[in-house]
Amino acid sequence: MQIPADLAQTLATAVEEGSLEGAARALHLTQPAVSQRLRTLERLTGQVLLVRSRPVRATPAGEIVLRYAKQVARLDAETSDLLGLSTAGTPSLSIGVNADSLATWFLPPLARLTDRLGVVFDLHRDDEGRTADLLANGTVAAAVTTQRDPVPGCTSTRLGTIAYRAVASEGFARRWFPAGVTREALAVAPLVDVDREDRLQTRYLEVMGVDAALPPRHRIPTTPDFGRAIEMGMAWGLMPQVQRDASTGIVDLGGPDVTVDLYWQQWRVHSTLLDEVAAEIAAEAARQL
């Protein structure tokens, strides 16, 4: 069975607009026509694809169809460009990326691509352990992720490793670690996480033999402000080399590196734009990671 592209696009539009009424307006159809298309698609696939809530949302099976619809739309746009038929204007690409990559090494290759190809980027920032989910549900066409195994329908290429070191401001280190970074001191010294999903500091504590539930924790949700909190003496935390070099008045606390392997995953489709972006990002990662 082949899923009709127009029916898949109807599902994608309904999810994007949040309602069947919105999809009807966007597609210049009546609402009964949209409902009929969706019923036909669900009959063909034999599965419920859309939860009729407010807003409507895709089921797990529906997310697979959403990814297919977006891949077809990408191929249609590139084919039109190659044939000189495109009226869509500037090409765009959605990418998932973790905050530390975005704050350190990821933007320069995108700037070069923008200059060379005229492409614009729709970046979705999330924890590196969750960016693969954005690929799985079709939100993005490519992602920087810690997931090595390819998302279904995608390819996976290793980019490199980010090594993190524990750091603190000079004043914080004097106050909380006067005798060095001992287990006793780590159990009471405040630390900072980006959010509840950030496990870098926890991994460091576990290697150091400290119960990660003991120290008080700040949560500061952006990489630049995370770094500023450390510089201002609020807490200790882990930083990659590039971020440490850009910070002032901080000292290395010692202890082990905490490493994170990064992978580039993208849709398994023949896309000149995706391939050029992947090559530029891989080259930058080879220099920086």
Integer Cα distance of 45 and 117 in angstroms: 38
Domains contained in the chain, number: 2
**pLDDT tens digits along 87-142:** 556 778 889 999 889 988 999 999 999 999 888 999 999 888 889 888 887 788 89
In a domain, 169, yes or no: yes
In a domain, 242, yes or no: yes
Q: What is the pTM of this model?
A: 0.74
pLDDT in tens, 221-236: 888 899 999 999 999 9
> What's the pLDDT at 152?
84
Q: What is the mean pLDDT of residues 245-272?
A: 91
Would residue 146 count as lying in a domain? no
Q: Name residue 49's amino acid.
A: L
Q: Is residue 273 situated within a structural domain?
A: no
Q: Grade residue 212 by pLDDT with cuts at 50, 70 and 90.
A: very high
When the pLDDT of each residue in the chain is averaged and rounded to a whole number, the result is 90
Residue range of the domain that includes 50: 5-62
CATH of the domain at 240: 3.40.190.10
Per-residue pLDDT reduced to its tens digit, 18-46: 999 999 999 988 999 999 999 999 999 99
Q: Is the pLDDT of residue 78 over 90?
A: no
